[in-house]
Structure 1
Amino acid sequence: MPLPLAPLIPLAIRLGLVATTTVAVTRWVRSSTHPGRTDQRAEDALDDLGEGLSLHRPADRAEDRQTNATARLRRVVRFRGRTYEIDAGLMARFRLREADE
């Protein structure tokens, strides 16, 4: 007895479109981004952050109206008999200056 394949054609077309789109987007993202680098100074600065959230304006940057923010979260999570250590750090700078035209 022959197997009717006609009802599977729309599903096959959809899956093919999804796979093609995924490959195209992956190639585009990889081509438009650079591999990056690891700066040891930045790694050391993130390791020296205190836990919690900090927001401050440096006195020597008052004319730039610069604001700095830091955040760090360190937790130990136990899940299904395994232990994971989460260490997330963030450093940010926002500077607002008047541009010379």
Structure 2
Amino acid sequence: MSVDTATVRRVARLARIAVSEEDVATMQGELNAILGFVEQLGEVDVSGVEPMTSVTPMEMKKREDAVTDGHKAEDIVANAPATQEHFFLVPKVVE
């Protein structure tokens, strides 16, 4: 895939990057080089490679999926100026 000058201007506008007319040709070459590298990556045979979550082989930590209140109600309202039964008290704003 080759990027033309109109595409460079459109990408610059979408990215909100000010590109002068002198820099359009330079940016066009850079974008074409990036796309060429991505095309090279697409040619690599990865059919025997398993997806991984880390560079080093390790088992992911798992926890039981349970719904709780977090047991942190006291910690959450600890710095509030006014509380009542683990709720924040705020001044009335509607009469």
Q: What TM-score results when the alignment is normalised by the length of structure 1?
A: 0.28
Structure with a larger share of its residues in strand:
1
The structure with the largest alpha-carbon Rg is 2
Q: What TM-score results when the alignment is normalised by the length of structure 2?
A: 0.30
